[in-house]
């Protein structure tokens, strides 16, 4: 691993420091920052050494930070970094580190970073979950359905015994953050300079990650990825979600990659590198055989369908029949955004959670209201529970009855009134509600838990698995 060392006082952390450290990080793989102690500084600092160390550690680009009394040459001899980075102003001066670096072939690089780097992007942001939550409507919902806190908490205990299978497309989500520097002189195109890239595992992977993090016992993820660089990223990082992956390779398609180019808080462009063709019959059979092997030890199977060819209808039908034969509950989500899906092709499920657009596309119905849409979708595909997600407006709930006029409707408005990042709200709702219902919660209780889960998820920057402790804390807060 190529380590980079930067040493300094960092008396008052300013944008110049952040630019320098970002530049240093880009020179290697692991950035170590050595902060001089109060005793080692030639001048008296306005901040004590612990405060200065804490500020340096708050930067995303810093992998390791430490206090040191050592002069530069002794610190280099002790740590033996691959590279030492110093500001451009030190070039041409006497640099004591150089002799120590020459002993083992280390390098000294001078640079101060780019002046147009937005320093606020590189501070690790700590956000208090729940500061913008409004539980007033949720309290009324709980009263209508006689939802007790103790029952919700008991549900989490039961979740810990559940085994879950998730089937669908794994997607790599990239966020390229930069600065818009102006308009091209050749054509009316915005020119941006990228300065940070964040990468997350999305699609079926984040659904599986949520389920495991919220509290399931074991989660097995079935998917098909490409034979490319991004497939290596998936295989190297999926263990962080603590799921058991069954990942088949298909050289005829890339691993789905969605790259968003953002300037400040605005998305300028999204580039999708995907294929929509169906996986081969051979891969379908391999997936089905892998799923069949574990079905006798699975409580619920979730179709996380992004409509990039991993779940052809023939495979869905085979998996659905096998689940019914083994008494395994089914839950489905079928995405329709830049691609076209059909949620109605998943029949006899415990739950489906489409967006309003996805229902309208499935029914080819741009006209009817939510109640009629819900009834028609239930007539077509027969789910036991239907939730239509409405983004910032919350969710609409439809529970069909055995007879035509026995259905029940309700809604839960959005709890989070100021989302930090709306990505992943639907995936989190699906994960929490399906897990809760499989653990024995009523549908009304499950959607209570899932709505709080979604509110927590959009309060977190980046699409990451929701921690159970955060969800439980927020549920308890909703009853105060």
User: Which letter does DSSP use for residue 109 in this model?
Assistant: E
pLDDT at 123: 46
The radius of gyration of the chain's CA atoms, rounded to the nearest angstrom, is: 26
pLDDT above 50 (res 115): yes
Model confidence pLDDT, tens digit, residues 5-31: 999 988 877 777 888 888 899 899 999
| pLDDT for residue 348 is more than 60 | yes
From 360, 305, 359, 308, select the one nearest 330 (Cα to Cα).
305
Give the list of residues 6+ apart from residue 48 with CB closer than 8 angstroms, or none.
38
pLDDT score, position 122: 47
Report which DSSP code applies to 37: P
CA 266 to chain CA centroid, nearest Å? 19
First to last CA, the chain: 50
Q: Average per-residue pLDDT in the chain?
A: 89
Say if residue 151's pLDDT is above 90.
yes
Summarised one tens digit per residue, pLDDT across range 164-209 is 999 999 999 888 888 777 777 777 788 887 877 888 899 999 999 9
What is the Cα–Cα distance from 72 to 95, expressed in whole angstroms? 9
Q: Under a CB-based contact definition with an 8 Å cutoff, are residues 387 and 350 in contact?
A: no
pLDDT of residue 48: 85
pLDDT band at residue 156 using 50, 70 and 90 as cut-offs: very high
Secondary structure (3-state) at 130: coil
∠ CA 241-203-161, rounded to 5°: 45
| SS3 state at 339 | coil
pLDDT recorded at residue 119: 44
d(CA 362, CA 336): 9
Q: Retrieve residue 18's tokens.
A: 């952040």
Q: Can you tell me the distance from the alpha carbon of 443 to that of 351, in angstroms, rounded to the nearest whole number?
A: 9
Backbone angles phi, psi at 79, to 5 degrees: -85, -30
3-state SS assignment for residue 465:
coil
> How wide is the angle at C-alpha 223 spanned by C-alphas 222 and 226, nearest 5°?
150
pLDDT for res 279: 96
> To the nearest whole percent, how much of the chain has pLDDT over 70?
94
The closest of 375, 418, 374, 421 to 395, measured between CA atoms, is: 374
Structure tokens at 248: 């088949």
Q: Name which of 355, 380, 359 is nearest 368 in CA terms.
A: 359
Contact between residue 438 and residue 384 where contact means Cβ atoms under 8 Å apart: no
């Amino acid at each position: 691993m190529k380590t980079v060392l930067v040493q300094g006082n960092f008396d008052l952390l300013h944008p110049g420091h952040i630019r320098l450290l970002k530049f240093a990080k880009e020179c290697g793989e692991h950035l170590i920052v050595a902060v001089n102690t109060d005793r080692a500084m030639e001048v008296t600092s306005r901040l004590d050494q612990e405060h200065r160390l804490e500020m340096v550690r708050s930067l995303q680009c810093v992998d390791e930070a430490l206090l040191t009394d050592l002069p530069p040459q002794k610190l280099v001899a002790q740590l033996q970094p691959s590279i030492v980075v110093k500001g451009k102003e030190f070039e041409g001066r006497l640099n004591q580190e150089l002799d120590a670096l020459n002993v083992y072939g280390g390098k000294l690089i001078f640079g101060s970073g780019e002046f147009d780097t937005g320093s606020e992007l590189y501070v690790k942001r700590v956000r208090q979950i729940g500061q913008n939550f409004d539980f007033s409507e949720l309290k009324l919902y709980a009263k209508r359905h006689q939802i007790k806190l103790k029952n919700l908490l008991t549900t989490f205990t039961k979740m810990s015994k559940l085994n879950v299978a998730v089937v669908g497309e794994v997607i790599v989500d990239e966020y390229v953050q930069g600065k818009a520097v102006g308009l091209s002189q050749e054509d009316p195109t915005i020119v941006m300079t990228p300065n940070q890239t964040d990468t997350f595992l999305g699609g079926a992977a984040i659904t599986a990650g949520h389920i495991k993090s919220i509290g399931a016992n074991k989660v097995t993820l079935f998917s098909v990825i490409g034979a490319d660089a991004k497939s290596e990223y998936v295989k190297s990082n999926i263990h962080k979600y603590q799921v058991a992956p069954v990942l088949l390779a298909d050289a005829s398609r890339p691993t789905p990659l969605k790259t968003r180019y953002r300037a400040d808080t605005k998305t300028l462009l999204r580039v999708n590198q995907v294929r929509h063709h169906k996986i081969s019959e051979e891969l379908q059979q391999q997936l089905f055989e892998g799923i069949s092997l574990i079905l006798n030890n699975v409580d619920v199977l979730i179709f996380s369908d992004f409509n990039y060819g991993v779940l052809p209808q023939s495979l869905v039908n085979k998996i659905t029949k096998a689940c019914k034969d083994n008494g395994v509950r089914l839950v489905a989500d079928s995405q329709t955004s830049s691609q076209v899906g059909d949620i109605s092709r998943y029949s006899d499920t415990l739950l489906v959670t489409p967006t309003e657009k996805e229902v309208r596309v499935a029914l080819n119905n741009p006209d009817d209201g939510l109640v009629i849409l819900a009834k028609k979708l239930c007539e077509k595909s027969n789910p036991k529970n239907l939730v239509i997600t409405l983004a910032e407006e919350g969710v609409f709930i439809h529970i069909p009855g055995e007879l035509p006029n026995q259905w029940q409707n309700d809604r839960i408005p959005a709890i989070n009134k100021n989302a930090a990042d709306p990505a992943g709200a639907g995936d989190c709702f699906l994960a929490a509600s399906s897990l809760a219902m499989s653990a024995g919660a009523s549908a009304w209780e499950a959607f209570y838990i899932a709505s709080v889960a979604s509110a927590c998820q959009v309060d977190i920057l980046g699409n990451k698995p929701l921690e159970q402790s955060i969800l439980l804390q927020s549920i308890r807060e909703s009853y105060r």
